[in-house]
Structure 1
Amino acid sequence: MPLLSRVLAFCLVGMASINPLAAATPAAPKAPSLPAETCPVPDERPEVTYKANIDPKETAATEAWVKEASMLPGWKELLNSPDVETRHCANFLLVTMPASDRHKVTGETIAENIRLALAARHRFPWAQQVPWPIFLNDVLPYACLDEARDPWRADFLKRFGDMVKDAGSRDAAAKLINAKIQDEVGVKYSTRRRAANQSPSDSMRQGLASCSGLSILLCDAFRSVGIPARIAGVPTWVTVNGNHNWVEVWLGADGAPKPDSEVTPLLALQWQAGWRVTEYNPDAKGWNHAWFMERAAAADPAKPETWIYATSWARTGLTFPMVWNLRSTQVHGLDRTAAYHALTGGRKVPVAPDKTHIALRAYRGDRRVAAEVTVSQGTTTQSVTTKGEDKDLNDVTRVEVPAAGGKVTVQSGDVIRTVTPEAGKELTIELRLP
């Protein structure tokens, strides 16, 4: 049996539910319609294709990498470790790490990551019972997206391990971290951050991050104490341009905790039901509540650019689209669209055919502000407040009006805008205040 086959057979025991090597001949990707650095609100809708992200040449390249790594300092010791869990972790990361990381992330760095991930797993009873395949895919990885590879795990285990030391369950621990992370790391949302895909240390140095950077922070915080987490997101909404990323945290039933665990289809289905939706600034209503849920529930199954995706470290045959680098197939993905439809009782119509949504932002200079706004149509007037800089750029105040009701007047102080409704559409109005 070739070396790569032996490694895969060893490290992917229990990974049947993830099916990391579900290879298919990839379709030729279309050129993305977005340039880099258009996050968080693209000027155009991105082109996202449902394609396998496994190059036919990858098997040979991975075979060569496995042979090379088996002789490298750090990797050699890991792959021959007397500890079975360490060997499983090393083999899993060896064959699933992005090709671009193979000569950048050293064996010594991988060893430290594995040591700390297993330390957290054994420290907390609720972490010990995370199914082994989910631990490998959603706790063990040293990165979330294509951010710079930080050694974040030691710092985060100290910070968040102390925070959850008395938590009696994964749910309780996750809620503590989610509630306290902003105070702990001192990072807030801002469109003035350096880049969309910042690493934890980069975001903490600036004190600023995009929705993607905040999601990386929260995902790594959960993972640091053995709680499975992954990034979820949408390339663009159905009715309006603009992407968003958030976090899914796994709070499912205990089971299959050991490296030699068998996975049955039933267990795999149970595990998939264990994911909960949240974000860095959590909704007061708890899991599976967020400002974007109604928008997510409108995702169109016929339009991949509007699907809801989640990341996977193991290969899935689908790419997780990153709007700052749509050409990249580095991050693997899962289609979560149907799950978000189910969370809200079925797919939602984004805008009723006889209605128009008016989306409102108010600015003073180049900063969004919370401003009192009236929206008038005929004899009907609605009063609302716009969102300030502390809210996600896509989290806008929206007002619904009849499409056939005539012109709509939007006013804040002396600033007045008029717009003609369009049936079944969402129109964005930006007010420039003195």
Structure 2
Amino acid sequence: MKHILIVIGYFIIFTGCMHDESKLGKAVDQMEQDEMIGYVPNNQKLGMKWLLNNMVEDDKKSLSARFLLDNCIYAYKAWENTPWGSVNDSLFFEYVLPYSSLNERRDNWRQDFYERFYPIVKNAKSAYEAAVILNNNIFELVGVIYSTKRPKADQSPYESIEAGLASCTGLSFMLIDACRSVGIPARFVGTPSWYNNSGNHSWVEIWDNGWHFTGAFEPTENRLNEGWFTGLASRSVKGHPKYGIYAATWKKTDIYFPMDWKPGVDKYFAVDVTSRYQDFLDSNFISLRIKVVDLNGERKRILVSVSGDNNFSFVGYSKDEKNDANDHLTLNLPQGNSFTIKVNQFSKTITLNKEELIEIKI
């Protein structure tokens, strides 16, 4: 009799699991919220509820319950198993748990990225250190580089891996997801346009006792809060829909993220973070940007020397096509001073009264 009861018990468990698995194939909007929450352990129920309440309606129709369940399970695993996983619920819900940043294709990257990237950061002592390691390593590991020849701007991580190329937007999506996969709060930041209309840019912020920024695929050795774009960002305009700087969030706000690749789409929320970047502005200095191109107009990495007043001397390399289209060799120099730029046989002297972009053809 005892053996019969055991067999019956196994049968009930097995058939129950089969039933549950079949339900997990349904779209999220075909299941009751309480039913979805019931699939996760007690310590994950608040997170699942938050996801269900904050995910965009389109995702509820297109994503399966299994997708959401897998995302939740591995987000909590990373949160609980990393030294920097002591962030509060609010930061975890908004910047670790989400499976997307904006409108990128929904890839089920969570487990894959955890298994790929956790081993390279497991010895890091902080989220700051781990984020630096990720930015210095993941793009080579997955075989993705920056290129304006990428298929589209808003590629998902797997779309970028398939193409081997990505824009600053696609690179940022990938670094954010890599950070989130190992429990680092991360968010998408960008501006629709620099103040001088020279273009747009996207980058990443991570949380470690405050927000820190970095350009995806643009590491500055082992440091955050540095980048070629700080001078441009310092002149952004707070509250301006075109010239402001915005960070994406799943939390409902009164601002929509201005996606320059999909203008007019008011679906994804944002916070205005312009003032954080205005601190880099020094009104006594002006940016001199130097761009070296060949006869076909392609940027080249060439040795550049700049000399000027007060015995100023600088030697560096111009940026090639592997760098962001707006990333040029940049010097912040005293306003009103004169400087001479030399590249091979080219030589030009200027008085720097306003921001300059010097294009040199070789």
Query: Which of the numbers 184, 189, 192 marks the counterpart of 2:149?
Result: 192
> Are 1:191 and 1:209, in contact at CA under 8 Å, matched by a contact in 2?
yes
Q: Is the alpha carbon distance of 1:71 and 1:359 closer, same or farther for their aligned partners in structure 2, counting shifts above 3 Å?
A: closer
Candidates 264, 281, 284, aligned match of 1:327:
264
Which aligned pairs between 1:90-109 and structure 2 lie closer than 5 A?
Answer: 90-109=48-67
Residue 120 of structure 1 is matched in structure 2 by: 78
Contact preservation (8 Å) 2:28, 2:60 = no
Q: Could you report, residue by residue, the CA deviation over 1:259-305 in whole angstroms, capped at 9, with x for unpaired residues? A: xxxxxxxxxxxxxxx11111223112602111112221222336442
- Answer yes or no: is 1:248 the counterpart of 2:205: yes
Tell me, what secondary structure is at the counterpart of 1:102?
A: helix
Cα displacement string for residues 42-75 of structure 1 (whole angstroms, at most 9, x for unaligned residues): xxxxxxxxxxxxxxxxxxxxxxxxxx98872586
Alignment equivalent of 2:36, drawn from 78, 90, 111: 78
Q: CA deviation at 1:363?
A: 3.3
Q: Is contact 1:75–1:108 with CA below 8 Å preserved after alignment?
A: no
Aligned amino acid, residue 318 of structure 2 = T
- Which of 98, 109, 128 aligns to 1:152? It is 109
Equivalents in 1 of 2:225, 2:350: separation in Å? 35
Distance 1:330 1:404, change over 3 A: same
Q: Quick check: 206-215 or 164-173, which moved more?
A: 164-173
SS, match of residue 219 in structure 2: coil
Structure 2 CA distance for partners of 1:338 and 1:327, relative to 1, 3 Å: same
Paired residues of 2:237 and 2:244 also in contact (CA < 8 A): yes
Aligned to 2:302: 371
Cα distance, 1:414 vs. partner?
Answer: 6.7
Matched, 1:388 2:345: no
Deviations along 1:354-396, whole A, 9 cap, x unmatched? xx84543423525311134577999x99876421112211111
- Give distance in 1, aligned partners of 2:40 and 2:308: 74
* Alignment check: 8 A CA contact 1:278 1:289 kept: yes
Whether contact under 8 Å (1:72, 1:107) holds in the other structure is: no
Tell me: CA distance 1:131–1:206, structure 2 relative to 1, closer, same or farther (3 Å): same
Distance 1:102 1:350 in 2: 52
Which residue in 2 is equivalent to 1:176? 133
Mean CA deviation greater in 151-160 or 97-106:
97-106
Could you tell me which amino acid in structure 2 is paired with residue 288 of structure 1? N
1:140 and 2:97 are equivalent in the alignment = yes
| Alpha-carbon distance change, 71 to 202 in structure 1, aligned in 2, over 3 angstroms | closer
| Shift in CA distance, 117/415, structure 1 to aligned 2, threshold 3 Å | same
1:193 & 1:292 partners in 2: Cα distance? 21
CA distance, structure 2, for counterparts of residue 70 and residue 177 of structure 1 = 32
- Paired amino acid for 1:317: D
Given candidates 225, 229, 252, the residue that maps to 1:292 is 229
CA deviation digits over 1:156-203, x for unaligned, max 9?
010112222333333333332222212222211111111111111111
TM-score under structure 1 normalisation?
A: 0.67
Asked if 2 retains the 8 angstrom alpha-carbon contact of 1:237 and 1:306, the reply is yes
Aligned equivalent of 2:238, options 284, 296, 301: 301
Q: Which amino acid aligns with 1:278?
A: T
Which stretch shifts more, 107-116 or 161-170? 161-170
**Structure with max Cα Rg:** 2
Task: Measure how far apart 1:87 and its partner are.
Answer: 2.4
Per the alignment, in what secondary structure is the counterpart of residue 293 of structure 2? strand
* Larger deviation, residues 146-155 vs 278-287: 278-287
Higher relative contact order (CA 8 A, sep 6+): 1
How far has the Cα of 1:154 moved from its partner?
A: 1.2
Q: Which residue of 1 aligns with 2:12?
A: none
1:251 aligned partner, one-letter code: D
- Alpha-carbon distance between aligned partners in 2 of 1:138 and 1:312, rounded to the nearest angstrom: 7
Maintained 8 Å contact 2:290/2:318: no
The secondary structure found in structure 1 opposite 2:72 is helix
Distance 2:289 2:183 in 1: 43
Residues of 2 paired with 1:350 and 1:202: CA distance? 44
Kindly provide the amino acid, as one letter, of the partner of residue 35 in structure 2.
Answer: E
Distance 1:147 1:428, change over 3 A: same
When you count helix as a share of all residues, which structure comes out higher?
Answer: 2
RMSD over aligned CA atoms reads 3.3
How far has the Cα of 1:145 moved from its partner? 1.8
Q: CA deviation at 1:430?
A: 3.5
Query: What letter is aligned with 2:329?
Result: T
Distance 1:350 1:299 in 2: 17
Tell me the amino acid that sits aligned with residue 293 of structure 2. A
Q: Distance in 1 between matches of 2:301 and 2:129?
A: 33
Gaps of 5+ in 1: 1-67, 253-273
2:210 matches 1:278: no
* 1:283–1:289 CA contact under 8 A, matched in 2: yes
TM-score by length of 2: 0.80
CA distance 1:412–1:107, change in 2 (3 Å): same
Asked if the contact 2:40/2:69 (under 8 Å) is kept, the reply is no
Q: Does 1:362 align with 2:310?
A: no
Asked whether the 8 Å contact 1:200–1:213 carries over to 2, the reply is yes
**Structure 2: any 5+ residue segments left out of the alignment?**
1-25
Call closer, same or farther: CA 1:71–1:390 in 2, change over 3 Å: closer
- Read off the aligned partner of 1:298 and give its amino acid letter: R
Distance (whole Å) between structure 1 residues aligned to residue 284 and residue 319 of structure 2: 21
The 10-residue stretch of structure 1 (176-185 or 360-369) with the greater mean CA deviation from structure 2? 360-369
Contact 1:113 1:140 (C-alpha < 8 Å) held by counterparts: yes
Q: Residue 276 of structure 2 aligns with which residue?
A: 339
| Matched-pair contact (CA < 8 Å) for 1:351–1:357 | no
1:235 aligns with 2:192: yes
